[in-house]
Amino acid sequence: MTSQLYLITPPSIADHAAFARAVDDALSAGPVPALQIRLKDVSLDEIRALTRLITPIAHRHGTAVLMNDHVDLAKELRLDGVHVGQSDTPYKEARKRLGGEAMIGVTCHNSRHLAMEAAEAGADYVAFGAFYPTATKTVEHMAELDTLTIWQETMEVPCVAIGGITAANAAEVSAAGADFIAVSGAVWTHPDGPAAGVRALLAAI
């Protein structure tokens, strides 16, 4: 099976205008079905400003925009959905606030039990990770590739693999059964620019 790319913003963005150009470049390089806005340690106003800037760019490329955790902000900005962690807004609460059309994904670390609960509740996808060390966030849970394989063989709900994935290891994650491969640093910090980062990942999977 072929995995698809799921792009996540860097945790902090100094220059919004430059980042908007980088998003346009990255999404021009090949199909990226989803972009998650995940900024850490910044104000809601900054998240709001960046989201308003890059959402039209993403939509022009046919890319859905999801907000990390901030359910009310996702609703206010009419985004395509949210991604919630185990310590964020509970899935059922997010669904109630956003309605049936919103795309809602849930972090499940390496736990098929958490993933089954999320899938049965109605989540649109479950996310497993981290699979490799990552510089984007502190890794508390490491996941095994077998988790993807078993999930793929037993469940219909799509799974996202996240955490330290690069063009060098994306092929084995894809082969293990990830429907989507979530990446951040492999695109935004690619030495030849974000478009080259997307092309390298797509070539790998």
- Binding-site members are 36-40, 68-69, 88, 107, 134-137, 164
Residue type, 147: T
- Size (the chain), residues: 205
Q: Could you list the residues known to form a binding site for Mg(2+), using ranges.
A: 69, 88
Residues 188 and 20: beta-carbon distance below 8 Å = no
Number of H helices, E strands in the chain: 9, 8
**Other CB atoms closer than 10 Å to residue 2's CB: what's the count?**
7
Q: Of 86, 142, 78, nearest to 117 (Cα)?
A: 86
Q: What is the DSSP letter of 100?
A: T
User: Which of 112, 106, 66, 72 has the alpha carbon at shortest distance from 86?
Assistant: 106
